[in-house]
Amino acid sequence: MPSQAPAKGVTIQVVDPTGNAIHHAAVSVSVSASPKAVSGESDERGFWHANEIAAGEYRVNVSAAGFKDAVLEHVILPATGTIEVELQPKPVVILDPSPALIDPEESPITLKLEPPKPAPLTAGVSLKVTGLKNLPLRDVKIELINEATGHDWIGRTDESGAYTFTQIPVGRYRVVLTSNGFKSYVKDHLAIPSKGAIRAQLQPGLLYEDSF
C-alpha cells in the first residue's frame, strides 16, 4: 500500500474483510449536493487514484459485484495517505461523521461492517412411532441414512414411542423403522431440518415405502 497520496489527489484502496484487494470496484468521489463526480474502477491491487482534486468536503461511494455498497460522507480532501474502504455483504451503511472528527493527516480511514451469520450445518430431528390403535411403540429401531453420503445414524424409541437425533448434517435422508412383530417402514427424501416431528405408524403388510 502506498505511504502517501499526491498533495492534490486522492488514493482509495478497496478491500474485503480478509484484507484482500477488490479489483474492478466502482469508485465515485463527488462534492456534497452536486451531481458532478470523479469516478473510475479500482485496479488489480484494489487501488483507485484521481489527480487534481480541489480541497473541500466530499462524498465517497464504493460498490463491487458480490458486495454491498459503502458510502463515506463529509470526507475532507486532499488527504495525506490512502483511504481504505472495506466492503462486506451487508445492507448499505452510511458513515456520516462530523468533518471535525476526520483528521486528514491520518491514514487509513476504514469502514468496517459485521460479516453475515453462516447458515447452520447441522440440525435435530424428532420421530414419534405408533402401532395399531395409534399406541406408542417402544424399542423401535430407527435408522437415518444420508442419501448423498450413505452415512447412517441409529436410535431406538423410548416408552412414549419417541426419539430425537441431534446434530445431524443438513441434507436429505432415508428413514427405516423396524420392530419385532411389525413390518418395516421406509420413508425416502426426508429433508433435515424438518418442519416439526416426523410421525410414523407401523402396521402389518408388505414393506411400506413413502416418498415425498
Phi and psi torsions of 101, nearest 5°: -90, -10
- Per-residue pLDDT band at 95 (split at 50, 70, 90): low
Whether the full predicted model's pTM is greater than 0.85, yes or no, is no
What length is written for the chain? Answer: 212
Q: Is the pLDDT of residue 165 over 90?
A: yes
Cell 462486506 sits at which residue? Answer: 88
Report how far residue 15's alpha carbon sits from residue 91's, in angstroms, rounded to the nearest whole number.
17
In terms of pLDDT, which residue wins out, 190 or 211? 190
Task: Note the pLDDT of residue 211.
Answer: 41
Interval 172-199: pLDDT, tens: 999 999 998 899 999 999 998 887 888 9
Interval 27-84: pLDDT, tens: 999 886 666 788 899 999 999 998 877 888 888 999 999 899 998 888 888 777 788 9
User: Domains of the chain (ranges plus CATH)?
Assistant: 10-101 (2.60.40.1120), 122-205 (2.60.40.1120)
Q: Is the pLDDT of residue 115 over 80?
A: no
Task: Note the pLDDT of residue 7.
Answer: 44
Report how far residue 203's alpha carbon sits from residue 183's, in angstroms, rounded to the nearest whole number.
6
Cell 477488490 sits at which residue? Answer: 22
Percent of the chain with pLDDT over 70: 78
Q: Is the pLDDT of residue 208 over 50?
A: no
In terms of pLDDT, which residue wins out, 72 or 113? 72
In Å, how far are 30, 51, 56, 188 from 75, measured between CA atoms?
Answer: 10, 16, 8, 59
Show the beta-strand stretches assigned E in 87-140: 93-95, 122-130
DSSP 3-state of 134: helix
